[in-house]
Structure 1
Amino acid sequence: MLPSFFVAHGAPLLAIEDNEYTQFLNTLGRTLPKPKAIVLFSAHWESSVQRVSDVDEYKTIYDFGGFPEALYRIEYPARGNQTITKEIEDLFTKQGIPFDVETERGLDHGAWVVLRLLYPHVDIPVISMSVNPKLTPKEQYQIGRSLSGLREKDVLIIGSGGTVHNLRALNWGAEDGEIDPWALSFDEWLESGLRNWDLESLFTYDSVAPNANLAVPPYGNEHFVPLFYAMGAADNEQTAKLLHRSYRYGNLSHSVWQFG
């Protein structure tokens, strides 16, 4: 059975950079068993009702501005998989989870940056999934849990976002390896909660975690919540392992968590 993962997608520049984090993701993709398909929840696709992609071939969305021209030349024309999409629809229907099917939307950079680093050959079908930041963490977890059976069919489930993601707090002049203490304290609290599968604390992170208002700012939690979708997909095993953690700009976290 494949594990599920939470993968930080960082800044779009990761797509053209060669650094500690991109090298780690390249290696991770080579060492994992090749999945039959990938179900990916992206922080950059928000919706009030769960959206499930049913796309033959994805266009590449450049949902950013002001970056080097090389980024806008990258394409990741992944194909979908109607069989897996139908399985997801059936699972949601059976468990009473409202959803809509999306037949046109391409892959945003929260999806294709991660996928391209893990699987550069674009040879694995992808089912893109939205996130709803307005749901409670428990509800987000339950959506992930509803898909846990797919892991037994060699489907890889990924939540793409960032555990510490506050663009207003970035320290652009930070040296490599320099970490803002508030960011580290939040991630260390999160690490303890995940390793102990402490759902009670994790589901109330915004009121109990140190520096939660900085790490997951009140104006936007969309990058944090993919963690709960990925975690829920491993509810039947409830094990968590930190595979990588580094930072850019003082506090933008590059964390990879394995569940199950």
Structure 2
Amino acid sequence: HPHPPTWHDFHGFPAPLYAVDYPAPGEPALAARIASVLEKAGLPATLDPERPRDHGVWVPLSLMYPDADIPVLQLSLPTAFGPTLQTRIGQALGALRKEGFLLVGSGSITHNLGELDWRAGPEVVEPWARAFRDWIVERLQADDEAALHDYRQRAPQARRAHPRDEHLLPLFFARGAGGRFGVAHQGFTLGALGMDIYRFD
């Protein structure tokens, strides 16, 4: 879609979030090219010219590029594709970085809305959330792909940190697309919602 609408695909959050509009242009030709790259890598891709831009796109980009003056392409990662296939998607698209494209995996290092404390300040961090985050960071620093891909079984409090996978899977895409791991920011909000930012240079 050359001008995707903004989709507020969540419920129960503060009213100002529902007024956000992020009008960055799309780029249909690039979307077709990316679909072709994925198909050549044996990863089926479907173009959806009607899909609006969900909060996984406009929340981070409205902070990074508040003027919405760069073309943006949203790639929805199938949740049926576990960590290994998400990594393959990143590897297939990683070469685009050499052409100046920025690949962003948008999710959350912990994401269990039922465990949030809506009155907690930034100094409050649930021990289980910190334990999970710290394990992930240690495994990323060690480049331990086997452990990361088996995080459901190996990481402390994995099911509590992520009742479902979809908010962690973009991490594997980003790791596949990039290289050396680094931490740009770490923090929690509402007691248990991870707000970390990682780089893969």
Q: Aligning the two structures, in what range does the TM-score lie when normalised by the shorter sequence? A: over 0.9
Mapped to 1, the partners of 2:185 and 2:134 lie a distance apart of: 13
Mapped to 1, the partners of 2:96 and 2:16 lie a distance apart of: 36
Mapped to 1, the partners of 2:18 and 2:114 lie a distance apart of: 25
DSSP 3-state at the match of 1:84? helix
Mapped to 2, the partners of 1:107 and 1:184 lie a distance apart of: 30
Structure 2 residue aligned with 1:90: 36
Structure 1 residue aligned with 2:187: 246
Q: CA separation of 1:66/1:165 partners in 2, compared to 1, >3 Å: closer, same or farther?
A: closer
Mapped to 2, the partners of 1:74 and 1:138 lie a distance apart of: 34
Structure 2 residue aligned with 1:200: 146
How far is 1:142 from its partner?
Answer: 0.3
Q: CA separation of 1:173/1:71 partners in 2, compared to 1, >3 Å: closer, same or farther?
A: closer
How far is 1:79 from its partner?
Answer: 0.9
Larger CA deviation: 78-87 vs 192-201: 78-87
Structure 2 residue aligned with 1:226: 170
The alignment's TM-score, normalised by the length of structure 1, stands at: 0.74
Structure 2 residue aligned with 1:185: 131
**Higher RCO, 1 or 2 (CA under 8 Å, sep at least 6)?**
1
Structure 2 residue aligned with 1:143: 89
Listed one character per residue, the Cα deviations across residues 4-33 of structure 1 (whole Å, up to 9, x for unaligned) are: xxxxxxxxxxxxxxxxxxxxxxxxxxxxxx
Mapped to 2, the partners of 1:71 and 1:216 lie a distance apart of: 23
Mapped to 1, the partners of 2:13 and 2:43 lie a distance apart of: 38
Structure 2 residue runs without a partner (length 5+): none
Mapped to 1, the partners of 2:70 and 2:133 lie a distance apart of: 31
Larger CA deviation: 70-79 vs 119-128: 70-79
* Higher relative strand content: 1
Count of paired positions = 201
How far is 1:84 from its partner?
Answer: 2.1
The alignment's TM-score, normalised by the length of structure 2, stands at: 0.95
Mapped to 1, the partners of 2:66 and 2:198 lie a distance apart of: 21
Q: CA separation of 1:136/1:64 partners in 2, compared to 1, >3 Å: closer, same or farther?
A: closer
How far is 1:188 from its partner?
Answer: 0.8
How far is 1:68 from its partner?
Answer: 4.0
What amino acid is the match of 1:226?
P
Runs of 4+ in 1 over 6 A off after TM superposition: none
Q: Is the 8 A contact 2:83 2:149 kept in 1?
A: yes
Percent identity of paired positions between Structure 1 and Structure 2: 37
Listed one character per residue, the Cα deviations across residues 166-203 of structure 1 (whole Å, up to 9, x for unaligned) are: 11111233232111111111111111111121101000
Mapped to 1, the partners of 2:12 and 2:119 lie a distance apart of: 19
What amino acid is the match of 2:116?
L
Mapped to 1, the partners of 2:134 and 2:167 lie a distance apart of: 18
Mapped to 2, the partners of 1:195 and 1:78 lie a distance apart of: 34
Structure 1 residue aligned with 2:26: 80
Q: Is the 8 A contact 2:121 2:190 kept in 1?
A: yes
Give the alignment's Cα RMSD to 1 decimal.
1.3
Q: CA separation of 1:59/1:186 partners in 2, compared to 1, >3 Å: closer, same or farther?
A: same
Larger CA deviation: 193-202 vs 131-140: 131-140
Mapped to 1, the partners of 2:109 and 2:14 lie a distance apart of: 26
What amino acid is the match of 1:228?
F
Mapped to 2, the partners of 1:160 and 1:250 lie a distance apart of: 20
Residue of 163, 173, 184 corresponding to 2:119:
173
Structure 1 residue runs without a partner (length 5+): 1-54
